[in-house]
C-alpha cells in the first residue's frame, strides 16, 4: 500500500486578528488499505483529509504520499490521490457524467479518439450505463454520488480520499456505495458520521479539537468516540 505520511503536520489560519489552530502538529504513517476518520462537527476531519492531496497545505511540518510532498509537488500528489467531496455537485464540473469522465480520462494516457468508448465502459461498470448522457442535475443523489466516484476513479488514483461520502444517500444507495468502496483495490481514507461505515476499515482515527485523540482498531475507536461524545472525556 501507499505510505501517507504526516510529519508534525499542523494547520493554523488567521481569522481576523487571531491565529486559529485547525490541526495541531500531527505525525502519522498510514499504510492500511482502509482508514476511517470520525469525530464531532468542526473537529478537523476535513482538514486532515484535505492535507492528503494538498487541497489544504500544512503551515507547519509536511505531508507526503509515497514520498511526494504535497507542498512542493502538489500536481504530482493530485495525480496519486483522488478526492471525493461530500456533495457530488461540487465535484462534477461537466454537464453530463460522460463528459466529466472523458475529462478525467484526459489525465490518463488514453488517446482522444478512444476516450468516449472508454468513458462509456467505465460508467457502465458502475451500473450507470443508462445515465451517461443525462444532465448531472437530473440524476438521483445516489446516482450522482456514484458518478462522482466513477469520475475520480477514471483518473486511476492510487489513493482515494472521501469526505463524508454517504451523508446525502438513503439506506439503499449507502449500501450500494459501500459495496462499491469495499470492492476497490485503492487505498482509501474516508471521514464519516456513520459509525457503522467507520467499522469498514482496518484502522480508525478519532479527531477531537484538532488532534488525533485515538488511533487504533475501528471498534475501539467507535467506543472511544461514543464515550467522548457523551461525557466529554473518554475513560
Ligand atoms: N479556511 C478556514 N478558515 C477558518 N476556519 C476554518 C477554515 N477551514 C476550516 N475552519 C474551521 O476549522 C474547524 C475544523 O473544520 P473541518 O471542516 O476540518 O471539520 P470537520 O471535522 O470536517 O467538521 P464536519 O463534521 O462538520 O464536516 C471548524 O471549526 C471550521 O470552522
127 is a domain residue:
no
pTM: 0.92
158 is a domain residue:
yes
Nearest protein CA to atom 24 of ligand 1, as residue? 41
Q: Judging by DSSP bridges, how do beta strands 203-208 and 34-39 pair with one another?
A: parallel
Rounded (to 5) percent helix, strand, coil in the chain: 40, 30, 35
197 is a domain residue:
yes
Report whether pLDDT(148) > 80.
yes
Provide mean pLDDT across the span 34-57: 96
Asked whether the beta carbons of 4 and 189 are under 8 A apart, the reply is: yes
Report whether pLDDT(98) > 80.
yes
| 44 CA from centroid of ligand 1 (Å) | 6
**Probe residue for ligand 1, chosen from 9, 20, 46, 192 as the CB with the greatest number of ligand atoms within 8 Å:** 46
Query: In this predicted structure, what is the pLDDT of residue 30?
Result: 96
Report whether pLDDT(1) > 80.
no
| 210 CA from centroid of ligand 1 (Å) | 9
136 is a domain residue:
no
Backbone angles phi, psi at 206, to 5 degrees: -105, 120
List the one residue out of 160, 199, 221 whose CA is nearest residue 1: 160
Q: What percent of the chain shows pLDDT beyond 70?
A: 99
Provide mean pLDDT across the span 158-169: 91
List the one residue out of 174, 167, 205 whose CA is nearest residue 36: 205
63 is a domain residue:
yes
Backbone angles phi, psi at 210, to 5 degrees: 75, 15
Query: In this predicted structure, what is the pLDDT of residue 107?
Result: 81
Report whether pLDDT(167) > 90.
no
User: What's the domain count of the chain?
Assistant: 1
Distances (CA, A) of 150 to 27, 112, 212: 31, 19, 31
Mean pLDDT of the chain: 92
Residue 170, domain CATH: 3.40.50.300
84 is a domain residue:
yes
**Probe residue for ligand 1, chosen from 9, 10, 22 as the CB with the greatest number of ligand atoms within 8 Å:** 22
Q: Which helix (H) or strand (E) holds 125?
A: helix 112-125
Q: How many Å apart are CA 170 and CA 218, to the nearest integer?
A: 23
Q: Judging by DSSP bridges, how do beta strands 4-15 and 60-65 pair with one another?
A: antiparallel
184 is a domain residue:
yes
For residue 148, the enclosing domain spans: 4-93+142-231
For 196-235, what is each residue's pLDDT tens digit? 999 999 999 999 999 999 999 999 999 999 999 888 766 5
**Probe residue for ligand 1, chosen from 15, 42, 48, 229 as the CB with the greatest number of ligand atoms within 8 Å:** 42
Q: Which helix (H) or strand (E) holds 99?
A: helix 97-105
Query: In this predicted structure, what is the pLDDT of residue 141?
Result: 85
Q: What ipTM was reported for this prediction? A: 0.94
Nearest ligand 1 atom to the CA of 15 is: 4
Q: Which residue has the higher pLDDT, 174 or 81?
A: 81
Query: In this predicted structure, what is the pLDDT of residue 235?
Result: 54
Query: What does the buried/exposed string (b/e) look like for 80-95 if buried means 16 or more CB atoms within 10 Å of the residue's CB?
Result: bbbbbbbebeebbeee
For 176-187, what is each residue's pLDDT tens digit? 889 888 889 999
Nearest ligand 1 atom to the CA of 49 is: 18
| 72 CA from centroid of ligand 1 (Å) | 24
For 105-142, what is each residue's pLDDT tens digit? 988 888 888 999 999 998 998 888 899 999 999 998 88
Contacts for 70 with CB less than 8 Å, ≥ 6 apart = 51, 52, 53, 54, 57, 58, 62, 63, 64, 77
Q: Which residue ranges have their beta carbon within 6 Å of ligand 1?
A: 13, 15, 20, 22, 39, 41-47
SS3 (DSSP) at 95 = coil
Amino acid at each position: 500500500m501507499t505510505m501517507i505520511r504526516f510529519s508534525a503536520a499542523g494547520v493554523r489560519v488567521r481569522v481576523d486578528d487571531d491565529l486559529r489552530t485547525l490541526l495541531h502538529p500531527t505525525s502519522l504513517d498510514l499504510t492500511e488499505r482502509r482508514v476511517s476518520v470520525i469525530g464531532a462537527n468542526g473537529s478537523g476531519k476535513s482538514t486532515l483529509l484535505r492535507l492528503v492531496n494538498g487541497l489544504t497545505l500544512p503551515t507547519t511540518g509536511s505531508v507526503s504520499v509515497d514520498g511526494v510532498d504535497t507542498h512542493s509537488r502538489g500536481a504530482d500528489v493530485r495525480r496519486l490521490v483522488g478526492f471525493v467531496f461530500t456533495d457530488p455537485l461540487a465535484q462534477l464540473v461537466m454537464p453530463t457524467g460522460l463528459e466529466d469522465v472523458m475529462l478525467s480520462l484526459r489525465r490518463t494516457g488514453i488517446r482522444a479518439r478512444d476516450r468516449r468508448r472508454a468513458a462509456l465502459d467505465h460508467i457502465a461498470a458502475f451500473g450507470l450505463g443508462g445515465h451517461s448522457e443525462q444532465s448531472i442535475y437530473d440524476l438521483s443523489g445516489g446516482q450522482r454520488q456514484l458518478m462522482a466516484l466513477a469520475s475520480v476513479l477514471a483518473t486511476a488514483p492510487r489513493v482515494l480520499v472521501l469526505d463524508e461520502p454517504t451523508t446525502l444517500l438513503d439506506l439503499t444507495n449507502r449500501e450500494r456505495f459501500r459495496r462499491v468502496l469495499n470492492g476497490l483495490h485503492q487505498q482509501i481514507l474516508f471521514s464519516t458520521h456513520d459509525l457503522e461505515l467507520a467499522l469498514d476499515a482496518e484502522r480508525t482515527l478519532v479527531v477531537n479539537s484538532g488532534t488525533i485523540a485515538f488511533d487504533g482498531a475501528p471498534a475501539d475507536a467507535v467506543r472511544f468516540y461514543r464515550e467522548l461524545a457523551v461525557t466529554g472525556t473518554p475513560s
